[in-house]
Each structure stands twice: as C-alpha cells, then as structure tokens.
Amino acid sequence: MARTLQQLAFEQPIYELEARLAKLEAAGDENLAAGEEIRRLRRELTDLKKKIYSQLEPWQVVQVARHPERPMTLDYIELVFDDFVELHGDRSFGDDRAIRTGFAKLGEYKVMLVGHQKGNNLKDRIACNYGCAHPEGYRKAINRMKMAAKYGLPIITFIDTPGAYPGIGAEERGQAQVIATAMFEMSRLACPVVTVVIGEGGSGGALGIGVADKVAMLEFAYYSVISPEGCAGILWKDAAYAQQAAQALKLTSKDLLRFGVVDDVIEEPIGGAHRDHHQMASRLKMYLIRAVRELTQKSPEQLVEERYEKFRRMGPFLEGPLAVGAPAETA
C-alpha cells in the first residue's frame, strides 16, 4: 500500500503513477481494456521503483534511511520476534527510552535484544529523544549484554540513531566514557553477537551497540562516522552542503560492504522498507536466524578471537605514491 505521510522528492514519479493506478482501480471498470491497462500500469510501477531505487545518490539513501514510516526496532520486535519481555533501567540513573532491551524468541533461539528506538509519533519521539541515547541507555545495554553472555544467549542489536545525545547533562554523566566502555565490553562478550543497521547509523551512538561478530545493513540504511549535516558543518561551515558531504563520506551499504566495514547487506523490498514492513521483516528474520545458527556453532573463545581480528583488520589505507602502485619502501 502506498504511503503518503512524507513524499521524497525523487519518489514523485512513483506517487504520480500510483495515483493513476489507484484512480483506475477505484473506477471498478471490469472491461477487458481497463483490466489490461491496470496490469500494464502495475508492471510499469514495479519497473519504475526498481529503476529509481537502483540509482539512488548517497544523500537520497540518507533520506530513505530517515523516512518516518521506515520500520523501527519496536516494529521489528512485533513482526520478527516472539515473547518479547522488556527489561528497563541501568541500575544507576534511569531508564533511557532511546534504547530498548529485553529477552525475545527468534525461531528456535532465545536471544537478548538491544536496539535504538526513535518513536513513531511526536510524543514517542520526544520520549525516545529521537533515538539519541544518553549514558544510561548505553549502561542499560551493557548490563543486558553481560547478562546474555552469562547465560550463553545470542545478542541481536538494531542500530538506528543519528548519534548519541550531545547535551551537557549527558556529557556530565560520562557519555564518551560509557560508549567507549560499551565497545570494550562488546569486544569480549563470550556469546554470539549480531548487529543490523536498520536506518541511521551515526557516529559513536551507533558504535556503542555495534561491535559484533556479524555486522549487517539494510540496503538503504547508512552507517557513518558523522551525519552528513555534521560533516558539512565542519568542512564547509554550512549544513547546506550535506549532499556533498554524503557523497564524500561513503556511507551507503554498497560502499561499506566493499570496504569490509559490514559483512552483509539485506535487500529491501522494491521501493524501500517503508513501503512493505512485513516483507522487510521476513527478510530480516531469515537473515538473523541464519546468522545466529552459524555463530552458535563456534566456541566462546573462537567468537571473541575472531571478533577481535575482524575489527583489527578494519581501516588500513594507502596514500601518496603507494596508492597508485608505487613499490613500497623497506622500513
């Protein structure tokens, strides 16, 4: 079903064709010519979606990742998992609604679930701080992950945040330190960890729950050291250059798979996950079950060692003459 809450500029041809198709279907004309025209428009619509979404620019990918009707953590909890029991609080300061944690059932597996939640309406977004977690959110996540490791439960995390909350109160309560601690603790968890970037993956706010054995992205999610607007503000002193920043940051799933930053890309339904929550949830569930099944075959020691090596290999680069094939000098 077409959604119209927010129409992205590059999707206008899709919405126009959907409107034509809906008008023809609503007419209820059952003659042969009308039926053939409806079938032709449906084929044309499918082809148009494929064409547009196969050619998205990085900034357009960012817009899709931020789409307000894109499924979020709580949507996937409802569609993918069974018997979710939410666990609240960090045992220190409070319960941050920007990060949700709890036990859940994934097929035959009992798992610990941790994920960012932005909120589906204005009231929820304010309560969830638009997915920007405070230190207590990351402390809550750490506590639940340690609990999972204690009982040998696989951990699944969903990343969907523009970044950790940068306010004074968060800094006073140790925002940077707690994110660093979360990354360190995740690196040595003696149980399987699977992370999926389902929407936005911004900066340390994403990395705080992103150190995993398997790191995957949805096709039109993004994962970056900084938001395009933040990058533009630093480089050009003007957020209006966000489109150029998105291009430079190489933040799309295609780029990150090529660089080895993510292990897998999960294909989205035609036209993006916001157009078909159920199909996206089905694909995500199949991936998660397959990943958990693969990882549970490994020993805790093997998981920790391979996770360490995975992230140690990340990020090597060459510059200057070496980048264009000049022979390396012996140190």
What would the pLDDT profile of 254-272 be if each residue is shown by its tens digit? 999 999 999 999 999 999 9
pLDDT per residue over 190-249, tens digit each?
999 999 999 999 889 999 999 999 999 999 999 999 999 999 999 999 989 999 999 999
The one-letter code for the residue type at 312 is R
Domain limits of the chain?
Answer: 11-55, 62-312
- The rounded mean pLDDT for the chain is 90
| Residue 235 to residue 238: CA distance in whole angstroms | 8
Percent of the chain with pLDDT over 70: 92
| Strongest mean pLDDT among 20-24, 31-35, 95-99 | 95-99
Residue type at position 76 = Y
Length of the chain, please? 331
pLDDT beyond 50 at 2: no
Contact indicator for 216, 262 with CB cutoff of 8 Å: yes
**Comparing 33-42, 230-239, 263-272, 294-303, which segment has the lowest mean pLDDT?**
33-42
Q: Output the pTM of the full model.
A: 0.88
Asked if pLDDT for residue 75 goes beyond 90, the answer is yes
Q: Could you say which architecture CATH assigns to the domain 62-312?
A: Alpha-Beta Complex (3.90)
Residue 159, sorted as left (phi over 0), alpha (psi -120 to 50) or beta, turns out to be beta
| Comparison of pLDDT for 257 and 315, the residue scoring more | 257
pLDDT reading at 5 higher than 70: no
d(CA 230, CA 257): 23
Residue 280: strand, helix, or coil: helix
Alpha helices in the chain (DSSP H): 12-27, 32-53, 58-65, 73-80, 122-127, 135-151, 168-172, 175-187, 203-207, 228-235, 242-249, 253-259, 277-295, 300-312
Rounded Cα–Cα distance for residues 51 and 56 (Å): 9
pLDDT at 143 over 70: yes
- Report the pLDDT value the prediction gives residue 31, as an integer from 0 to 100: 64
